[in-house]
Amino acid sequence: MRNKGKISAGHNQMRWVILLLVIAVVLPTVCLLWFMSQTVKNERLAIRQKLIDIYTAKLPNSFANYCNDYWGNIENKLIKNIDEYEDNLKIFPEKYIEQYEDFSAFVIYEQGKITYPIFEHNTPVLSDRVCDVWKLEYVDRNFQEAIKQYEFIGSTSSIMEVVYECKFAIVRCLSKQGELAQAIAQCELLAYQDANETVNLPPKQIALAGLMLVNLYGRTNNENLLAELEYQLSNSAKLVFPTETKMFVLGKLIALAAEVELSDKLKSQIENAERIINCQKIALAASGLFESSMPEKTFRNIPKIKSLYGISFRLYNGDVLGLVTSEKMSQFWQETVEINEDEIVFCRVADGLGLRIDSKTSSEQPFLSFNPSGFFPDWKIEVYFRQGVFAAATRQQQVVYFWIAILVIVFMTLLVIFSARAILRQAKMNRLKNDFIATVTHELKTPLSSMRVLVDTILQGNYEEEKTATEYMKLISKENARLSRLIDNFLTFSRMERNKQAFNLIKIAPAKIAESAVEAMRTKFNNENCRFNVAIDENLPFVLADKDAMITVLVNLLDNAYKYSYDDKQIELKVFGDEAGVCFSVKDNGIGMTRRQMRKIFDRFYQADSSLARSVEGTGLGLSIVKFIIDAHKGKIEVESKPGKGSEFRVVIPICKD
């Protein structure tokens, strides 16, 4: 009970020592980490303020200069192009859109009136005579008579629209009654009007005639269809006539090209036509919404069309309202902010109504907000720090702090680990020493006590026959041999500890080693409860070994097999050749071992049962001595065991190569 109390007290002391060592590491580490976090926080605040100052001084001027340069160049280019079309500003918007992509459309005002887009003029009411002929064409379907009436009315009328309507109606009637060749001939005269014609058709009627001609070519699979489509798309785009009619004609021509599968061959003409149609749609939508009070050269939202932006330029006799869609405006601002953004900041843009024209999002508040002025006085630029930017900006300083902290923590941890290991090693050695002393005392006391009792008995003559005295002497001899083995183990261990153990390695047959070990153990194994089998292969190669040391190895293994086997002992010694050398195998049917025990059995002083009341004698040095001898012979030892199913130890010694 006293022993247990000491061990418990020792464990408690170790716990307190380890706890103090842990505190010695944790407390300074926590303080160091807190100091480092505060330092990094202050560093971030300082860097943030420095960056704010830099970008506050840089970005407003940068944005203003870029916007003014970009749109100032566009203004100069725009005025230059307008000067080229001064005599006919109605041609300018579509030519500009064809050549450039700065604006999506224009609305032109001259002397306070819209001159582009071009609206339809009031068309004169056709006479009752033309209406009667329509009845012949559409109701009675008397095309021949209708053609005669149209020819008569057209030749006698002085109204240009009536003359055009009659000529176009004749082509229509010829087409309806299947006279396509004549219809094409008449239509070509309208579309490609001869300069000698008495009635010159206006551009609108020429474009409509061209559309009719393309339709007729398509119905007759005319070989000139592709050329005609190409010409009409280009010509209708150049002609100046009412916007809605131009949109209709160009749209029909594009649809006809797709219907006859010629869109790919007319790709450039169709793209140009689509640009003009889009330009005219936007112009029509914005016409009439222009505010005369709108400041010059400033982008504003077009009233009622929030996705459209306009900028006004003054002319000598009017104004040009340039229109930009939200898509093009977003594209411009995307290019602008990309020039001014970097790996530290990003920008967001809001128009005059506060609408975002970018897709960027941020949960943070902008650290800088300003107006780019110039062409965008009511617009707002917001500047944000990118996520994680301060971590990147303070990374270098953090790395320094981090490595200092790591080095300090590692140093302190290693110091504590070494201290703890030293303390634990010393405690373990003290415990092993105490256990060893107790074990040695117990192991030495037992044979000495037995021998003393037997000697006293013989000396006192307390025996009846000489045979009994002889048996007592044999027992004394046995206990003496046991005591000698214990002392030999202690001496061998002592030499191992002092590296004084010397081995006399000679060339020897493995069979001699095995036979000597068997002879040493035969007396012990010679009883009815033990079956001992020996199998030694013939013609085994020689090994380089110390005979006495190897006999000690086998004797220890055989002795352990005997001690840890059940009453019905089955022990087997095999010697055979192995790929790595000569193998000595000792197998028993004993109590076996767990995996944990197998990992520790070669440790010094280790015993599965270290109590003094154990049933098996020993000091825990046998297998550690075996391992030492085998390592000195450059061999190896392996063990296989399962609880309750016995154990097998295999010792492999390299063969002698000489």
The model's pLDDT over 105-127, given as tens digits with 9 standing for 90+, comes to 888 887 778 888 888 765 555 56
Pairing of strands 318-325, 345-350: unpaired
The sign of the torsion formed by the CA atoms of 481, 486, 490, 496 equals: positive
Is the pLDDT assigned to residue 196 strictly greater than 70?
A: no
Domain range summary for the chain, segments of one domain joined by +: 118-286, 395-477, 502-653
Structure tokens at 137: 């064409």
Note the maximum CA span of the chain. Answer: 176
**pLDDT tens, 268-281?**
999 989 988 998 88
The strand pairing partners of 638, in sequence order, are 650
Domain 118-286: CATH architecture, name and number where available: Alpha Horseshoe (1.25)
**pLDDT tens, 563-598?**
888 778 888 999 998 888 899 999 998 888 888 888
DSSP code string of 424-486 = HHHHHHHHHHHHHHHHHHHHHHHHHHHHHHHHHHHHHT--SSHHHHHHHHHHHHHHHHHHHHH
Helix ranges (H only) for 461-567 are: 466-497, 510-525, 547-563
The total of other beta-carbon atoms located within 10 Å of residue 550's CB is: 26
Is the pLDDT assigned to residue 432 strictly greater than 70?
A: no
If you average pLDDT over residues 517-534, what whole number do you get? 82
Residue 233: closest CA among 257, 250, 247: 250
Question: How much is the pLDDT for 614?
Answer: 47
- Top mean pLDDT of 9-13, 86-90, 219-223 is at 219-223
pLDDT: which is higher, 155 or 496: 155
3-state secondary structure 363-409: CCCCCEEECCECCECCCEEEEEECCCHHHHHCHHHHHHHHHHHHHHH
Region of 304 (left: φ > 0; alpha: ψ -120 to 50; beta: rest) is left
Question: How much is the pLDDT for 121?
Answer: 67
Cα 545 to the center of its chain, rounded Å: 61
Decide yes or no: CATH 3.40.50.720 for domain 502-653.
no
Helix ranges (H only) for 221-315 are: 225-238, 243-259, 267-286
If you average pLDDT over residues 522-544, what whole number do you get? 85
Is the pLDDT assigned to residue 499 strictly greater than 70?
A: no
pLDDT: which is higher, 645 or 195: 645
**Percent over 90 (pLDDT), the chain:** 12
Per the CB < 8 A criterion, the answer to whether 175 and 211 are in contact is: no
Per the CB < 8 A criterion, the answer to whether 295 and 378 are in contact is: no
Is the pLDDT assigned to residue 4 strictly greater than 50?
A: no
- Contacts with 65 (C-beta within 8 Å, 6 or more apart), sequence order: none
Question: How much is the pLDDT for 112?
Answer: 74
Is the pLDDT assigned to residue 194 strictly greater than 60?
A: no
Is the pLDDT assigned to residue 1 strictly greater than 60?
A: no
**pLDDT tens, 119-177?**
876 555 556 677 778 888 888 888 888 888 888 888 888 777 788 888 888 998 998 88
Pairing of strands 530-536, 569-578: parallel
497 CB-contact burial (10 Å; exposed 0-12 / middle 13-18 / buried 19+)? exposed
The total of other beta-carbon atoms located within 10 Å of residue 63's CB is: 26
Is the pLDDT assigned to residue 5 strictly greater than 60?
A: no
Helix ranges (H only) for 85-179 are: 92-99, 128-134, 143-156, 160-176
Tell me which of 307-311, 374-378, 448-452 is least confident.
448-452
Query: What SS3 class is residue 637?
Result: strand
The total of other beta-carbon atoms located within 10 Å of residue 584's CB is: 27
83 CB-contact burial (10 Å; exposed 0-12 / middle 13-18 / buried 19+)? exposed
pLDDT: which is higher, 82 or 515: 515
Question: How much is the pLDDT for 611?
Answer: 45
* Predicted model pTM: 0.52
Supply the CATH classification number for the domain 395-477: 1.10.287
Question: How much is the pLDDT for 41?
Answer: 63
CA dist 522 and 518 (Å) reads 6
If you average pLDDT over residues 340-348, what whole number do you get? 89
